[in-house]
Amino acid sequence: MNFTFHRKRITGVLVVVPENERSFSEDMKNFNFPEARSLKLKEVMGFDKRRVVEPGVCVSDLAVFGLEQLFNRGLLHRDEIDALILVTQTPDHFVPATSSIVQGRLHLKPDMLCLDISQACAGFVVGLMQTFMLLEQESIKKVVLINADVLSRKASPKDRNIYPLIGDAAAITVVERDSEDSVIHASLKMDGARGHALTIPAGGLRMPATLETAILEDVGDNNLRAKDHLFMDGAAIFNFVQTEVPPLIEGLLATAGVSKDAVDYFLCHQPNRFMLQKLADKMKVPHAKMPNNVVERFGNNSGVSIPTVITYDLGDRLLREKLQVCLAGFGAGLTWCAMLVSLGKLDFNLITEYK
């Protein structure tokens, strides 16, 4: 499904990463694999360091920290926030919504919208679409999009497919109307029939958490995982990305009448370096145009991965320059989506550490 948005722009991005860093060498000790094989995985996938929260730290903590930073630095005023969109699959509570909690902790005005959307890896593009739709309403002038997840808390330490790559983080993106006649193109597809490839089986109402769902099981591939834990079918996800994402992006570029060469960067969700290199090859895009270095520094941090690329790889440049970028998110749902947008000049584009 294609979308076109007019006169909207991103004015600032702040990424909050936990101070706490883990390394693959530490994590490796828990796996049921010979060290040599694990090291091979590290090399191919680009695993090295990642940031994870300390026990008990939640999405609202990262979000509140980030927003307070923006308030303190005069980059955002609390009364200007007309809508708060919080995209997560690891909420503080089932009841109430985490956006309500953030609103309350920061004493934001009552005359505003708080909305929680359940999305993960595709959540930045989905979230941006939401902000653009809201800004069509006259009373809404500034929307704050928060993407945040603490999925490390659902990763089994004995699961080599998941544990060494998960990172936690939050991103705060400010979106407003654009005085220039700008156009943003987006394309979105979803397939729930394949949704079981990326899931947390227990904890919701279909299979409530019990003592049984916490038991580690040998799932047959030498990894141990409980039904409470995050499960990813690596092969299925790889095939999904290779098959679905290139045609989606190509279709989007065709609709927009923009050539691949005219795109400065392809800023994709960052599952691991291997997948992104293969994706770039398939699309015949030079690796330099599709940054793939987030996982080795921060881990795969779900919906925050695209904002992490934006802040980490393009940092100060976006304060001075305007770049034509193609964002691409893909993951839980299964969801795959892309957005062609002009990024910059931003008021701020930062990474900060949560202590």
Partner 1 sequence: MKCIFKNKKISAIVAVVPKEEYRFDDEYPVFKLTEDKAKRFKKMMSLDRHRIAPPDVCASDLCQYGLQQLLNAGALKKEEIGALLFVSQTPDYFMPPTSNVIQGKLGLGHDMVCLDINQGCTGFLLGFMQACLLLEIAALPKVVLLCGDTCSKQMDRCNRISYPLTGDAGSVTVIERCERESPIYMDVKNDGSRHKAIMIPAGAFRMPATPETLKLREVEEGVVQNLQHIHMDGPAIFNFTMGDVPPQVEEVLAFSGDTRDSIAHFLFHQPNPFILKQMADKMQIPQAKLPNNIVSLYGNCSSVTVPLNIALNCGEPLRRETRRVCLSAFGVGLTWISAVMDLGPLGVCKVVDYERT
Binders of partner 1 among residues 122 to 181 (CB under 8 A) are 126, 133-134, 136-140, 150, 153-154
Q: How far is the CB of 106 from partner 1 (least distance, A)?
A: 8
The binder of partner 1 chosen from 193, 220, 261, 320 (CB under 8 A): 193
Distance CA 87, CA 123 (A): 6
112 binds partner 1 (CB under 8 A): yes
Shortest CB 30 distance to partner 1, Å: 20
Q: Is 305 in the site for partner 1 (CB under 8 A)?
A: no
Segment interacting with partner 1 (CB under 8 A) among 7-15, 33-41, 93-101, 274-282: 93-101
Query: Which of residues 2, 23, 32, 243 is near partner 1 by CB under 8 A?
Result: 2
Given candidates 13, 102, 256, 314, which one binds partner 1 under the rule CB under 8 A? Answer: 102
SS (H, E, C) the chain: CEEEEECEEEEEEEEEEECCEEEHHHHHHHCCCCHHHHHHHHHHHCCCEEECCCCCCCHHHHHHHHHHHHHHCCCCCHHHCCEEEEECCCCCCCCCCHHHHHHHHCCCCCCCEEEEECCCCCHHHHHHHHHHHHCCCCCCCEEEEEEEECHHHHCCCCCCCCHHHECCEEEEEEEEECCCCCEEEEEEEECHHHHHHEECCCCCCCCCCCCHHHCCEECCCCCEECCCCCEECHHHHHHHHHHHHHHHHHHHHHHHCCCHHHCCEEEECCCCHHHHHHHHHHHCCCHHHCCCCHHHHHCECHHHHHHHHHHHHHCCHHHHCCEEEEEEEEECCCEEEEEEEEECCCCEEEEEEEC
Binding mask 224-263 for partner 1 (x = CB under 8 A): ------x---------------------------------
Q: How far is the CB of 207 from partner 1 (least distance, A)?
A: 8
Three-class HEC string of 258-292: CCHHHCCEEEECCCCHHHHHHHHHHHCCCHHHCCC
Lookup: tokens for 307:
């904002």
Q: Minimum CB separation from partner 1 for residue 113, in Å?
A: 5
In the set 39, 75, 183, 200, which binds partner 1 (CB under 8 A)?
Answer: 200
According to the binding rule CB under 8 A, does residue 95 interact with partner 1? yes
The correct pick among 27, 82, 264, 296 for binding partner 1 (CB under 8 A) is 82
Q: One symbol per residue from 313 to 342: x for binding partner 1 (CB under 8 A), - otherwise; what is it? A: -------------------xxxx-------
Interface with partner 1 includes 190 (CB under 8 A)? Answer: yes
Least Å from the CB of residue 269 to partner 1: 15
* Residue selected from 38, 69, 103, 270 as contacting partner 1 according to rule CB under 8 A: 103
Of 11, 25, 182, 199, the one binding partner 1 (CB under 8 A) is 199
Query: Does the protein bind partner 1 through residue 184 (CB under 8 A)?
Result: no
Determine, following the binding rule CB under 8 A, whether residue 346 of this chain makes contact with partner 1.
no
Distance, in Å, from the CA atom of 229 to the CA atom of 162, rounded to the nearest integer, reads 10
Minimum Å gap between C-beta 273 and partner 1 is 23
Kindly tell me which residue out of 12, 41, 63, 90 binds partner 1, with binding defined by CB under 8 A.
Answer: 90
Q: Taking contact as CB under 8 A, which single stretch among the options 14-22, 32-40, 203-211, 319-327 is the one that binds partner 1?
A: 203-211
Give the separation between CA 340 and CA 221, rounded to whole angstroms.
39
